[in-house]
Amino acid sequence: MEEDRLEIVGPQRMCGELLVQGSKNAALPMLAAMLLAEGVYILHHCPQITDVDHMLELLMDAGCLVHREGHMLIVDTRGAERCRLSGSGAGKMRAGVTLLGSMLGRMHEVEIPYPGGCTIGRRPIDLHLKGLEQLGAVFEHREHALAGYAKDLRGADIVLDFPSVGATENILLAATLAKGRTVIHGAAREPEITSLAGFLRKMGAHIEGEGTAEIRVEGVERLHAAEYIVPSDRIVAGTYLLGAVMTGGEVRLLHVPTQHLGVLPRILAQLGAEIALWEEQDEISLKMERRIHPIPYLATAPFPDFPTDLQSALMAALAMASGPSFLEEKIFEARFQVVPELRKMGARIYEEDSLAVIEGEARLRGAQVEARELRGGAALIMAALAAEGKTVLGGMEFVKRGYEDIQGDLKKLGIVLH
C-alpha cells in the first residue's frame, strides 16, 4: 500500500488493550516553552507525529540541537539565538504561533512566517496579539511574516473574549518572564493548559489557577530547563473509544488521565456503551453490545464540554444510530469536511451552516474516500472498521499529523490490516 493510503476491510470488532500515545496538543506548546530558557530539556512520551517534526524544525531554525530516542526527546536550547524563523514548519501547522509568546519572553524579538490556517477554518490570531500587546509587545505585519518586539514585558490584567487555547498558551508563556503579575480572565481550561503550566512550573515559573478560567502568573527573572512526561492524548483516546462503539467492541485504554476526558464518558454512555473509569490507574474501558442510540442535540464547546476534535468521529458513530441526531459545531466555522466522504460510505447526513442532521440507520459500506484534514481522516478510519467491505483511504498524511501509528494501534486493538 502506498505511503499515504490505508486499506481496511470491514466489518471488524475492536477488541484489546492499548497504551495511548502522548498528546500532540500538550507536547507542541511545551516545545515552544523551551525557548524561554537556555538549557537541556528532556520530554518523555513525546508522540512521533509530523506536527512535532515541524515544531522541531522551527526550534532547530532558532539554533536548538534536537535528539530523539523513540518517545524521548532531548532539546538543547543553549544555542538558540536566532529570532527570525523561516522554517517550512510554521506554514504547515498552527502551533508555531505559540513561539511568539516564548521568543518575546526571552529574546524580546520574533519573526515567524504567518501561521498556517487550515481547512477547518480561518484560524485568526487576534486574541493572541491583543493579549501579548497588553503585556507590552508591538507587532508588525510583513508580506509573509509576522514580526514582534517587546523591549520589556510587564504583567497585565487580560480578559479573553473567547477561551482560546492558543491565545491562553501564548499569553501564559510570555507572562512567566514579564515583570510583575499577570491575570488571564476567561482563560481556556483545556488539559493542555494544565500540562503546560505544570511544565512551566518545573522550569521555575510561578503560576496558579491553571484549569480554571482565571490564571495568575508572577513573572520571574529567569527560568531553567526541565524534564517532563507528556500526558496521553485525550483526542486519540476518544477516537478509539468511538471506534469501539461503532464496531461493537470491547477495549481498555491505558495511561489516559480520566479527568482529561470531560463529558466524553457521559456521551459514550448515552450512545449505549458500558464505561468504566479507573482514576488512580489512569485507565478507561468500554464495552458496546447494543445498537447505537441517537443523540437528540449536542454542540461542541470548550473543555470540559464535548471537544470539537471529536465531532467528526461522533458524527460517524451517529450515522449508524437507531434514529436521527443533531450536531452543532460551535468552535470552528468549517469542520464538516468529512460529511461528503461519510456519505460515500452510505451515511445520511445533511449540513447547514454550523448544524449537521445525521439521519442514522445507515449500514456503512466500504468506499474510496479522502481525508481532507486530521480529525476527519481519523473518523473515516473508524467508519471503515464498521463498514461492510473494503475502504481505501487517501490523505493519510493528514492523519499522521496527530496519530503516531494508527495502523499499529489498530492491530493492538485486534484489527487485521492488509
Q: How many other CB atoms are there within 10 angstroms of residue 235's CB atom?
A: 22
Among 67, 81, 88, 126, binds ligand EPZ (CB under 6 A): 126
What DSSP character marks residue 212?
S
Number of residues counted as binding ligand EPZ (CB under 6 A): 26
Residue 123 within binding range of ligand EPZ, rule CB under 6 A:
yes
Q: Rounded to an integer, what distance in angstroms lies between the CA atom of residue 15 and that of residue 251?
A: 5
Among 49, 125, 223, 342, binds ligand EPZ (CB under 6 A): 125
Residue 167 within binding range of ligand EPZ, rule CB under 6 A:
yes
Residue 308 within binding range of ligand EPZ, rule CB under 6 A:
yes
Q: How many other CB atoms are there within 10 angstroms of residue 269's CB atom?
A: 13
Cis peptide before 324 (omega within 30 of 0): no
What DSSP character marks residue 258?
G
Closest Cα to residue 165, out of 141, 197, 199, 133? 197
Q: What does each C-alpha distance from 339 to 120, 242, 311 come to in angstroms?
A: 13, 17, 11
Residue 402 within binding range of ligand EPZ, rule CB under 6 A:
yes
Residue 121 within binding range of ligand EPZ, rule CB under 6 A:
yes
Residue 95 within binding range of ligand EPZ, rule CB under 6 A:
yes
Run of H or E including 389? strand 389-394
In the bound state with ligand EPZ, the residue whose beta carbon lies nearer, of 13 and 401, is 401
In the bound state with ligand EPZ, the residue whose beta carbon lies nearer, of 52 and 369, is 52
Residue 124 within binding range of ligand EPZ, rule CB under 6 A:
yes
Run of H or E including 10? strand 5-10
3-state secondary structure of 241: helix
Residue 375 within binding range of ligand EPZ, rule CB under 6 A:
yes
Q: Is 118 a catalytic residue?
A: yes
Contact 333, 354 (CB under 8 A): yes
In the bound state with ligand EPZ, the residue whose beta carbon lies nearer, of 125 and 371, is 125
21-40: contacts with ligand EPZ (CB under 6 A) = 24-25, 28
* Shortest reach from residue 291's CB to ligand EPZ, in Å: 29
Closest Cα to residue 171, out of 139, 201, 198, 193? 193
* Shortest reach from residue 127's CB to ligand EPZ, in Å: 3
Name the active-site residue from 46, 64, 83, 118.
Answer: 118
Chain residues binding ligand EPZ by CB under 6 A are 24-25, 28, 94-95, 121, 123-128, 162, 164-167, 190, 192, 308-309, 331-332, 374-375, 402
> Which are the catalytic amino acids?
118
